[in-house]
Chains A and B, each alone.
Chain A
Amino acid sequence: MMTCSYFRANLQPGNADAAMLEHLRHCDACLDFAMNVDPDLFFRSLGGEELVPPGGIDAFVGDVMSQVRVHDAEVAITPRHAVSAWQRWAIAATAIVGITGATIAYRYEHSVPARQNVAQTLLSVPAAKPRPAITATKSFVETYSSHDATIVEMPNDGSDTKVVMIFDDKLPADL
């Protein structure tokens, strides 16, 4: 340990080495002297001290170890992630690409003017008249007479064709 007389004799502004600082930090008698020689030592005098947390080191270490045990217990009961970090990134990237693609496709369908024109052109083409569907393959009945039949004539809308409903138990099955 450096003596006070040695410290005072050798202290010059800006030349405080580790040994001098060590002396300064433990010697209250030299503190005032040092301040007058080199004011930059004002706050440097605070260092070097072994600081102890409130309650002491044993209590502090005990607290830290119990926190570590609590932390480990929490980690043990928390389910581990089934997927690793890069897999999570890959899933996120796929989802983003999917959503972006779907958005682009949706906007393309609803906002591209060219497609609207095409749609309008298609609408302006006269639609082909649908061919009359062949609903009956059997011959039309021109005349029919029977004593047991009930013949109902449907109201006519003015055309030449007459629709008649015939109810007869003796009517041939193929008619």
Chain B
Amino acid sequence: MAAEVLRMIPTKETVELDDRQLVEQIRQGDDRAFETLVRRKTSKVYGLCYRVIGNSEDAKDISQLVFLKLWENLEKYDATYAFDTWLYRMVTNVAIDFMRSKQSRDNAVNSNLRLVKTSIDPEQTVTVQRKEVESVFNAVSNVLSPKQKTIFVMSEMEDLRSSEIAKVLGCRESTVRNHLFNARKLMQAQLKRRFPEYARLWEESR
């Protein structure tokens, strides 16, 4: 009986604090609360960075930078807003900045590497492989601007609604829908050009 009562009393280890409570504890100087927050958000932050950047090492560095910025700016967080929205805003800002600088570097150095030829016959029947979808995405999403790509990833892969993306990026919902529309169009065109075997999927079904 006593053991059962004890089991019902929440201890520090069993209580799962929500994000806002963790932030409050960090503000009071609890470093372990920050460690818990980092552990909880790593997959989310790294996943978004990886989808946007397309390179695991760069995504890891950018994710660490995001958490460092989070630590520096935690005092500025307004608890009336969702923590994830605030965190996503930080991730997208850092990732978009990185992409812009990377794009300008790549444009200067590797402009001829964009011409990739596919050896697959367009008429060949294609079995879609998940790993291949990922490499196709990395290849064709290069035509998108950093902002378009971030919006596309948040909408299609992170399943965020347009209104949520607008909050994260601090823009209007119509702007998000515009970017999304243009991103889809550009990627389909790129898919037709570079991966005609997959583009046939669209042509057959429409």
Binding site for B on A (CB under 8 A): 13, 18, 21, 28, 31-32, 35-40, 42-55, 57, 60-61, 63-65, 67-68, 71
Cα-based distance from A65 to B42 in the complex (angstroms): 13
**Apart from A47-B158, A50-B43, A55-B60, what are 20 other A-B pairs with CB-CB below 8 Å?**
A13-B205, A28-B129, A28-B130, A31-B133, A35-B201, A36-B205, A42-B201, A43-B133, A45-B130, A48-B159, A51-B46, A52-B42, A54-B56, A60-B42, A60-B63, A61-B39, A65-B35, A68-B31, A68-B34, A71-B71
Residues in A neighbouring B198, C-beta threshold 8 A: 42
Q: Are B43 and A47 in contact (CB under 8 A)?
A: no
The residue in chain A whose Cβ has the minimal distance to the Cβ of B65 is A67
Binding site for A on B (CB under 8 A): 31, 34-35, 38-39, 42-43, 46-47, 50-51, 56-57, 59-60, 63-64, 67-68, 71-72, 127-130, 133-134, 137, 152, 156-159, 184, 187, 198, 201-202, 204-205
Residues in B neighbouring A50, C-beta threshold 8 A: 43, 47
Residues in B neighbouring A35, C-beta threshold 8 A: 128, 201
Q: Are A18 and B159 in contact (CB under 8 A)?
A: yes
Q: Are B130 and A31 in contact (CB under 8 A)?
A: yes
Specify which of B67, B72, B159, B187 is in contact with A47 (CB 8 Å cutoff): B159
Specify which of A28, A39, A43, A48 is in contact with B202 (CB 8 Å cutoff): A39
Using A43-B156, A44-B157, A46-B51 as known contacts, say yes or no to A57 and B64 having CB atoms under 8 A apart: no
Q: Are B51 and A53 in contact (CB under 8 A)?
A: no
Q: Is the interface of A mostly helix, strand, loop or mixed?
A: helix
Using A31-B130, A64-B68, A68-B34 as known contacts, say yes or no to A53 and B46 having CB atoms under 8 A apart: yes
Q: Are B128 and A32 in contact (CB under 8 A)?
A: yes
Using A35-B201, A61-B39, A67-B68 as known contacts, say yes or no to A54 and B137 having CB atoms under 8 A apart: no
A-B contact pairs, 21 of them (CB 8 A): A13-B205, A28-B130, A31-B133, A39-B202, A42-B198, A42-B201, A43-B156, A46-B133, A51-B46, A51-B50, A52-B46, A53-B42, A54-B57, A60-B63, A65-B31, A65-B34, A68-B31, A68-B34, A68-B71, A71-B68, A71-B72
Q: Are A43 and B35 in contact (CB under 8 A)?
A: no
Cα-based distance from A71 to B35 in the complex (angstroms): 15
Q: Are B133 and A45 in contact (CB under 8 A)?
A: yes
The residue in chain A whose Cβ has the minimal distance to the Cβ of B157 is A47
Using A44-B156, A46-B134, A68-B68 as known contacts, say yes or no to A52 and B128 having CB atoms under 8 A apart: no
Residues in B neighbouring A49, C-beta threshold 8 A: 47
The residue in chain B whose Cβ has the minimal distance to the Cβ of A40 is B184
